[in-house]
Amino acid sequence: MAGKFQSIAGRVLVSHPLQRDENFCETVVLIHTHTAKDGAMGVILNRPMGQYLGQVQAEFCAGPLTGVPIHVGGPCSADRMALGGWKFAARGPAAIRFGISREEAEVLAERGEYRLFAYVGYAGWSPGQLERELRLNAWVVCPFERATAQLTEQAYWKGLLARHRPDLRLVLDSPENPGNN
């Protein structure tokens, strides 16, 4: 008998150290939508492209969005870019926004309330697909917290696993190819 559906929207998925899918190896994915009917959508948080909106699109050369960093959001719709971001309240969960318009993003940037990003593509799961992957332990579900959201992209994946799954420390600290030692 299947258990009752439980949404993980607003949380992060951390790929298991043994996951070798090149799309998700060593990734942290912020889930912004998750329903039993439609599946799940999120964006990869730790794959920066090393570019900013003002560098790649003329319409962003001036204004409050020029310094917004661009990340690879995931393998779905990799020909599209969406704006998103979050802010942390003093208490409670983060306010997460995705698919926001340029005008709205400019207002949020000017207010300085949201940490904004541009995402090329997204990560998506059909109904039931993510639940199957979770049962197979392909992902570790973690809270989306201010302290860990401020880690560098390079330290984010390992830092979350070390904090929430210390039992995986040996795998985390192992060389990628032990035969090269």
Strands (E), the chain: 11-15, 28-35, 39-44, 48-52, 69-72, 76-87, 95-100, 115-125, 139-143
Q: Mean pLDDT over residues 114-141, rounded?
A: 96
DSSP state of 179: G
Confidence of residue 178 (pLDDT cuts 50, 70, 90): low
Does 175 score more than 70 pLDDT? no
For the ranges 89-93, 111-115, 145-149, the one whose mean pLDDT is highest: 111-115
Q: Residue 47 contacts by C-beta under 8 Å, 6 or more apart in sequence?
A: 27, 71, 72, 153
Number of domains composing the chain: 1
Q: Is residue 153 part of a domain?
A: yes
CATH code (residue 38): 3.40.1740.10
Confidence of residue 174 (pLDDT cuts 50, 70, 90): low
- What domain range is 27 assigned to? 11-180
Q: Is residue 1 part of a domain?
A: no
Please report where in the chains the tokens 């559906």 appear, as a residue.
5
pLDDT, position 150: 77
pLDDT, position 113: 86
Residue 71 contacts residue 119 (beta carbons within 8 Å): yes
What is the tens place of the pLDDT at every residue in 9-45? 999 999 998 888 999 999 999 999 999 999 999 999 9
Q: Mean pLDDT over residues 113-125, rounded?
A: 96
- The values of phi and psi at residue 21, to 5°, are -60, 115
Q: Is residue 114 part of a domain?
A: yes
Q: Is residue 6 part of a domain?
A: no
Q: Is residue 4 part of a domain?
A: no
